[in-house]
């Protein structure tokens, strides 16, 4: 068995989650199921790491399965964040935003530019978050397997650091905490209500506001695309629209976005350094 750094990161996060769940199990519904999910991810990782084939199914599967567990981890956060840290930081984040904008809430100021066409385009950009890592990863996998693994390391690290941030600063975001303060509803054209419904279904964890994982991961992918000269110009408009959409569509506070930008920089640097250090050690 020869673990890769990507697999070590997955196992480490699974162990952290397992420890938190066992620690606060009396506050978490079906804690044994949630604990079992993390144990299963560890077992899967250890099993796949024993596969040393240089081609065929297991060769390709080992490169990609490390990303397949990310949404599993995310869905498994539901109920765990509240069980571990039941406090709510929305008022604190709202106050930071207000001070950043000289006594005004940017989430309310942005209402001045609402229009259906812009709302539709930005909602589509926001949903592109689920595809951005693939838009980067698929062509890069064909082009350079080592670069693909470096990017995977950085992306995994950024995902899990953002998840840990949810435990430290749990918040539900402006669409819930500021609902009574908004003067206008966001109206799109055709896809906006459908996409919002899909997002609410795919993202069942309400306390996932700080930092903005959408900002962190998408911006990280853009930086990696520029570094490896793969799909940069395709990702640039998507990522730009996505980051603006986080506040426009009331998913995040501005301070969440700022934290997400900082996290993307950390993930970009730390992922590459971790990969190099691990490969040297091997």
First to last CA, the chain: 12
Q: What percent of the chain has pLDDT over 70?
A: 100
CB contact at 8 A, 164 and 80: no
Q: Which DSSP symbol is given to 26?
A: G
Nearest to 209 by CA among 64, 40, 77, 108: 77
Alpha carbon distance 171, 61 (integer Å): 36
120-145 residue pLDDT tens: 999 999 999 999 999 999 999 999 99
Domain ranges of the chain: 1-86, 87-281
Alpha carbon distance 236, 215 (integer Å): 13
Locate 278 and state its tokens.
Answer: 């691990």
Alpha carbon distance 104, 166 (integer Å): 25
Locate 52 and state its tokens.
Answer: 């040393």
CA torsion, points 246, 248, 249, 253, in degrees to nearest 10? 50
Tally DSSP H helices, then E strands, for the chain: 14, 0
Nearest to 9 by CA among 194, 168, 155: 155
Segment 267-274 mean pLDDT: 97
Q: How many angstroms from the chain centroid is the CA of residue 202?
A: 13
Segment 81-97 mean pLDDT: 96
Considering the entire predicted model, what is its pTM?
A: 0.94
42-76 residue pLDDT tens: 999 999 998 877 778 999 999 999 999 999 999 99
* DSSP annotation string for 174-199: HHHHTTTT--S----SSSHHHHHHHH
Quick one: pLDDT at residue 203? 74
Quick one: pLDDT at residue 1? 57
Alpha carbon distance 149, 146 (integer Å): 5
Name the pLDDT band for 227 (thresholds 50, 70, 90): very high
């Amino acid at each position: 068995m020869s673990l890769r750094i990507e697999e070590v990161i997955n196992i480490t996060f699974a162990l952290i989650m397992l420890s938190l769940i066992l620690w606060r199990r009396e506050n978490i519904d079906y804690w044994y199921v949630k604990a079992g999910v993390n144990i299963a991810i560890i077992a899967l990782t250890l099993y796949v790491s024993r596969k040393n084939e240089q081609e065929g199914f297991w060769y390709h599967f080992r490169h990609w399965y490390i990303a397949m567990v990310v949404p599993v981890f995310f869905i498994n956060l539901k109920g765990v964040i509240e069980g571990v840290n039941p406090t709510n930081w929305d008022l604190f984040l709202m106050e930071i935003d207000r001070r950043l904008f000289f006594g005004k809430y940017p989430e309310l100021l942005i209402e001045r530019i609402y229009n259906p066409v812009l709302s539709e385009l930005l909602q589509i950009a926001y949903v592109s978050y689920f595809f951005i890592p693939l838009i980067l990863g698929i062509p890069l996998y064909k082009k350079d397997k080592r670069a693909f693994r470096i990017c995977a390391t950085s992306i995994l690290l950024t995902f899990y650091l953002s998840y840990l941030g949810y435990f430290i600063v749990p918040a539900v975001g402006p669409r819930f905490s500021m609902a009574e303060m908004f003067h206008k509803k966001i109206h799109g054209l055709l896809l906006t209500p459908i996409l919002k419904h899909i997002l609410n279904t795919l993202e069942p964890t309400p306390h996932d506001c700080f930092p903005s994982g959408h900002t962190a991961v998408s911006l990280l992918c853009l930086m990696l695309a520029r570094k490896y000269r793969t799909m940069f110009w395709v990702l640039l408009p998507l990522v730009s629209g996505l980051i603006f959409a986080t506040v426009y569509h009331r998913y995040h506070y501005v301070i969440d976005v700022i934290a997400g930008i900082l996290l993307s920089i950390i993930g970009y640097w730390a992922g590459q350094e971790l990969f190099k250090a691990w490969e040297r050690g091997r």
